[in-house]
Amino acid sequence: MAQPPATTPPADLFRRLRIKSRQIMLLDALDAHRNLRRAAAAIHTTQPAATTLLQQLEEGLGVPLFERHARGMEPTLYGEVMIRYARSVLHDFEHAGDEMAALVAGQAGLVRIGTVMGAMPVLLTEALARFKDGHPRVRVTLQVDTSDLLIPALVRGDLDVALGRLPDQFEGGELEIETMEGEAMAVVARPGHALFDRADLQVADLVAETWILHPTGSPMRRRIEQALQEASMAPPPDIVETSSILATTALLESTDMVSVVPLDVARHYANYGMLAILPVELPISMAKLGILTRKQKDLSPAVRAFLRTLQECSAERTAAGR
């Protein structure tokens, strides 16, 4: 695979190059098919025309973007960079259509939010209620998921803003990050669980229980496993994995399973009698939450207005010690 050149391309290279939309589409198709004939068909052009588009792009950049082999084409290091940005451009144009459709329908913009479960019951609910009071015609979409899924979705351009946990040594090169305080966590079970009758309950007393935990690899799961190790307790052998709070609360209500959820979430469901907080503390320090947006991305007025509201609510909660 070709290596980067010793000299740096001029800063205004891409303005002078005037990359065509067909070339962007061709890069994406070549990544998908790794064959020039099939890529040309995918963008509804001929193979000679696709060859010309690629040659013009490589000559303008002064570097090879693909290596040609008998069995197909493989992107060079330069090609991988261009494919990544081409895919981002195409994603942005797809979502531009969604935003324009919202405007045509009489709405005043579109805000696509991703959030982890812990931010939902209090912080994000407060921010969304306040935002919609002032912007009733803005369409809002909301995705609740784990950080390991939200952050890639934000980088791809499928979200405008995300509230996520930042993994240790996280390097968000493509992201703007405004960190907030970490979340307190609680061990929960159904009301009336036999564990509530035990005096001086310890973490080690829970080893024989069935645990409901986030999927392997998620920041929350890693922190919980770390906390169990610090309590001299091996990871529980009996585990149900899910990131769904609906699945978690349903299982807790009808079984003797236990789980670990953010304290705000635990209090929310405890208020409705759906679960109860066990009198035991995990030696756990959850990763801090962050308000995440993409760098070098012009945010719409609606997204900027939502971010201001979210930042105001976060500052108020911090000032109030919540």
pLDDT of residue 269: 93
Q: What is the CATH number of domain 185-277?
A: 3.40.190.10
**Separation CA 304–CA 49 (nearest Å):** 42
Low-confidence ranges of the chain (pLDDT < 70): 1-17, 95, 97, 99, 102-108, 167-172, 181-182, 231-234, 283-287, 296, 321-322
Look at residue 87 in the predicted model and tell me its pLDDT.
82
What's the CATH number for 107-182+288-319?
Answer: 3.40.190.10
The three-class DSSP label of residue 111 is strand
Q: What's the pLDDT score for residue 6?
A: 42
CA atoms within 13 A on the CB side of 158: 10
Torsion angles phi and psi, residue 38, rounded to 5: -70, -35
C-alpha 130/C-alpha 40 separation (Å) is: 49
Domain ranges of the chain: 13-88, 107-182+288-319, 185-277
3-state secondary structure of 309: helix
| pLDDT value, residue 1 | 47
Residue 104: count other Cβ atoms within 10 Å of its Cβ.
8
Cα dihedral: 285, 290, 295, 301 (round 10): 180
Given this model, what pLDDT does residue 240 score? 95
Q: Look at the pTM and tell me if it is higher than 0.75.
A: no
d(CA 302, CA 322): 27
Contact 74, 34 (CB under 8 A): yes
Predicted local distance difference test score (pLDDT) of residue 2: 46
N-to-C CA span, the chain: 53
CATH number for domain 13-88, candidates 3.30.565.10, 1.10.10.10, 3.10.180.10, 3.90.600.10: 1.10.10.10
Strands 185-189 and 276-277: antiparallel
**The predicted structure's pLDDT at residue 229:** 76
For residue 287, what pLDDT is reported? 63
What is the Cα 302 distance to its own chain's centre?
Answer: 20
**Burial letters 270-302, b for 16+ CB under 10 A, else e:** beeebbbbbebebebebbebbbbbbeebebbeb
Same fold, 13-88 and 185-277: no
